Structure formats: structure tokens, C-alpha cells
Amino acid sequence: MASFYERVYAITRQIPRGQVTTYGTIAALCGQPLASRAVGYALRALPPTSDVPWQRVINKQGKVSPRGGHERGEAALQRVLLEREGVVFDADDRVDLGRFGWEGPAGS
């Protein structure tokens, strides 16, 4: 069995360009619907240069998660990357999950 990390990355890599998903969704796709926190933990260790589109993973509020001490402006970078893919942020910096939300490979 690949570690939880590997599983999370594998799923994150499947997120279509221009779409986003939530930690809870990824956790569910991993077979652990309650491991949303662990998902964040896995992505946290992922370098911005990774081939994994971590920027497409946001919280259920439709906002980028404010990780502590984001001095490198990674949260801001995430927003830019998404807008660059066509994802739209509203006045509250929120994404319309009903429109850009990805519910998994089966949720075409």
C-alpha cells in the first residue's frame, strides 16, 4: 500500500485544469472521508514546484486555506494560479464550487 501521501497526490493529479476540489472530497476519494486534515497535512509538505496541482485544492468554504506564516505568499500564489486556469474568485475571494467544483473521476 502506498502511503496516504502518495494516494492524496495521485488524486490531486487527476483534478482537471480549471477546476477545484475540497480536502474533504479528496479524503473521500482516498476512502477516508474524515481524513480531511490529513489531506492538508500531505499537501503542506508538497513543494510549489511539484507536478501536483495542489493549487486546485481548497476548503469547503470555497476559499484558499490560510496556512500559518505564509510569508512567501503561497496563498496569494494559489489564487493567481487558479485565475490563470480560468477559475473565478468573487468579491470575498471565494470560488463557486457549484461551478468549478470537481467531485471526482465519476462525477463527470
Residue 21's SS3 state is strand
Which CB atom, from 14 or from 59, has the smaller least distance to DNA? 59
Which CB atom, from 14 or from 65, has the smaller least distance to DNA? 65
Residues 6 or more apart in contact with residue 82 via CB below 8 angstroms: 20, 55, 56, 89, 95
CB of 57 to DNA, least distance (A): 6
Residues 6 or more apart in contact with residue 48 via CB below 8 angstroms: 54, 74, 77
Residues in touch with DNA (CB under 7 A): 3-5, 22-24, 32, 34-46, 54-55, 57, 59-61, 64-68, 74, 78
CB of 99 to DNA, least distance (A): 17
CB of 39 to DNA, least distance (A): 6
Residue 57's SS3 state is strand
Q: Residue with C-alpha cell 468573487?
A: 90
